Amino acid sequence: MTLAAGVEGSSPVLNITIFGLFVVVTLFVVFRASRNTKTASDYYAAGRAFTGPQNGVAIAGDYLSAASFLGIAGAIAVYGYDGFLYSIGFLVAWLVALLLVAELLRNTGKFTMGDVLAFRMKQRPVRAAAATSTLAVSFFYLLAQMAGAGGLVALLLGIESKAGQAVIIVIVGIIMIAYVLIGGMKGTTWVQIIKAALLIVGALAMTLWVLGMYGFNLSALLQGAVDKAGKAGEALLGPGNQYGKTGTTKLDFLSLGIALVLGTAGLPHVLMRFYTVPTAKEARRSVVWAIGLIGVFYLFTLVLGYGAGALVGADKIKAAPGGVNSAAPLLALELGGPILLGLIAAIAFATILAVVAGLTITASASFAHDVYANVIKKGKASPASEVKVARITALVIGAVAILGGILANGQNIAFLVALAFAVAASANLPTILYSLFWKRFNTQGALWSIYGGLAVCIVLIVFSPAVSGKPVDAKTGKSASMIQGVDFHWFPLDNPGIVSIPVAFFLGWLGTVLSKEHNQKKYAEMEVRSLTGAGAEKAVAH
């Protein structure tokens, strides 16, 4: 098989046509949605006019990134049970959002995470800190998605040269910027809803197809995967293939597990989605819908992963351009030929596009609303100028994403996403929880927790084996680390969460008790507002 042809049996023209159709349809929807986008509330929060179920589907569209779809299915196909562990962490994490964060956040904030933190604290320093961590998380997440776009191109369009892939990354970036600039939050939300529907229906169809081939007997499907893998097959059924080798990798997995379950409720693009509904009750309904859809989707990926292992085989997957990430597309090709492959490929592209658009609008809102309007203009910016700044910021972030995507092309997607989760769980979650539930919490505690959590997390990553110092693979002649040929790591784990998350909680507590600041009046107001929804931001009536 020649690499230049992409996946054997794939038709690049067909793939591009189906993807082009998706772009045309969604751009049309975005244009229609944009007609009512006028105020800041329209631009950032879609006028708070989406219903719970609509927002729930959009959350699923925002959350199920290419890493979940391609990454998890591929990990299950190649490593078996260990790939399944990711989906469980990603799903259970939603209970943190449902029980502790979503409704209270909806009631106390306006557009961003900074709104909630700044409620009873000194506005400017806290908003600056919240914007810093929002931008950091969004940046890592963006990099992961854009790097994924490059790999996907290699796989599906047969574009092997780095320059050709760079051109595609630029095109993806420009379409995404168009969605955000034209449609604001409303347009972006519709793109996410369409994409989520396509993704879930596509995965459902493939799941039924695979199960049908094994007489709807899961055990028989597993047997198929075991047989195909030869003598290593039996190990696919139990844990340990990917993470179980040494004490360090086991600890690493524990650290990853903690970051996954605590990261979701601190992801700024997830938090911002709660502002697009009119009430806390609708926020609750949206999480319920999201949990249902995301849970069902991860059950599909379990079947798809083992199905790819059984029908395509781990060796063929690993040898394909795109490696482990190519399991789901190869399975589609095996099942339905080039047309199904084209559909699944288009859905995977749409996934990247929708997630990137969601991240961009979140990051631009955080900069315009927290930094520009409240830190620089001290709350005196007109809403029109704020939206203008948000649009310019979206352009800048889009450019950064394109550039970063070209540079990060070829980096490990799952690692970058895990990084974003670790930063979110360390820098954001402790402050959000303290802020909502702890009477005594104050400005110094928030600043120590955000900056401390962020700094510890990033320092540990920089000095982890993920960045430098992994042994060189004899076959490829390359180290699995990001930087080749040097070794400056001293932290033994790839995942920093097991250290950085407790440290961030501790710093939040320490900073608080060492400062005398305490605003009882504001806390009383915040608590009443957060629990009852009194005085919460209402939906815009058009």
Contact region with other proteins (CB under 8 A), list: 135-143, 266-274, 475-483, 522-530: 522-530
Residues 98 and 291 sit within 8 Å (Cβ to Cβ) = yes
Tell me which residue has tokens 């029908």. Answer: 311
536 lies in the site for other proteins, by CB under 8 A: yes
Under 8 Å CB-to-CB from 3, ≥6 apart: which residues?
Answer: 160, 321
Cβ-based neighbours of 466, under 8 Å, separated by 6 or more: 415, 481, 482, 494
Range 30-69, binding other proteins (CB under 8 A):
36, 38-39, 41-42, 47
Of 30, 91, 131, 330, the residue at the interface with other proteins (CB under 8 A) is 91
Residue 527 interacting with other proteins (CB under 8 A): yes
The alpha-helical segments, DSSP class H, found in 65-122 are 66, 73-79, 81-96, 102-108, 113-117
By CB under 8 A, the residues from 147 to 206 that bind other proteins are none
Among the residue ranges 80-88, 130-138, 150-158, 178-186, the one whose residues contact other proteins (CB under 8 A): 80-88
Element (H, E) at 513: helix 497-513
Q: Least distance to other proteins from the beta carbon of 378, Å? A: 19
Q: Which of 164, 240, 336, 469 binds other proteins (CB under 8 A)?
A: 240
d(CA 183, CA 212): 41
Q: Label residue 51 left, alpha or beta by phi (over 0 means left) and psi (-120 to 50 means alpha).
A: beta
DSSP alpha helices (H): ranges in 409-495?
A: 413-423, 429-437, 443-462
CB-based burial label for 96 (10 Å; 0-12, 13-18, 19+)? buried
Stretch of 94-102, 188-196, 334-342, 354-362 contacting other proteins, by CB under 8 A: 94-102
Question: Taking contact as CB under 8 A, which single stretch among the options 3-11, 126-134, 281-289, 362-370 is the one that binds other proteins?
Answer: 281-289
| Residue 84 binding other proteins, by CB under 8 A | yes
Q: Is residue 478 a contact point for other proteins (CB under 8 A)?
A: no
Alpha-carbon gap, residue 140 to 425, rounded angstroms = 13
Q: What is the nearest approach in angstroms of other proteins to the Cβ of residue 72?
A: 13
The C-alpha atoms of residue 122 and residue 428 are separated, in whole angstroms, by 17
In DSSP terms, 472 is beta-bridged to 479
| Single-letter code of the amino acid located at 179 | Y
Q: Does 521 bind other proteins (CB under 8 A)?
A: yes
Q: Is 250 in the site for other proteins (CB under 8 A)?
A: yes
Bridge partners (DSSP) listed for residue 479: 472
Q: How far apart are CA 472 and CA 460, in angstroms?
A: 21
Q: How far is the CB of 291 from other proteins (least distance, A)?
A: 5
For position 219 contacting other proteins by CB under 8 A, the verdict is: yes
Residues in Cβ contact with 388 at an 8 Å cutoff, skipping those fewer than 6 apart: none
Residue 298 lies near other proteins (rule: CB under 8 A): yes
Nearest to other proteins of 172, 425 (CB atom) = 425
Task: Tell which one of 14, 160, 171, 223 touches other proteins (CB under 8 A).
Answer: 223
* Residue 179 DSSP SS3: helix
Our finding on whether 365 is near other proteins (CB under 8 A) is no
**Interface pick for other proteins out of 18, 72, 96, 335 (rule CB under 8 A):** 96
Query: Exactly one of 170, 171, 182, 540 binds other proteins (CB under 8 A); which one?
Result: 540
**DSSP bridge pairs for 118:** none
Among the listed residues 125, 164, 239, 336, the single contact to other proteins using CB under 8 A: 239
x/- track of binding to other proteins for residues 99-138 (CB under 8 A): xx--------------------------------------
CA–CA separation, 258 and 70 (whole Å): 22
CA 457/CA 53 separation, integer angstroms: 35
18 lines the binding site for other proteins (CB under 8 A): no
Residues found near other proteins in the complex (CB under 8 A): 36, 38-39, 41-42, 47, 81, 84-85, 88-89, 91-92, 94-96, 98-100, 217-220, 222-223, 226, 237-240, 243-244, 250, 253-254, 257-258, 261, 281, 284, 287-288, 291-292, 295, 298-299, 521, 524-525, 527-529, 531-538, 540-542
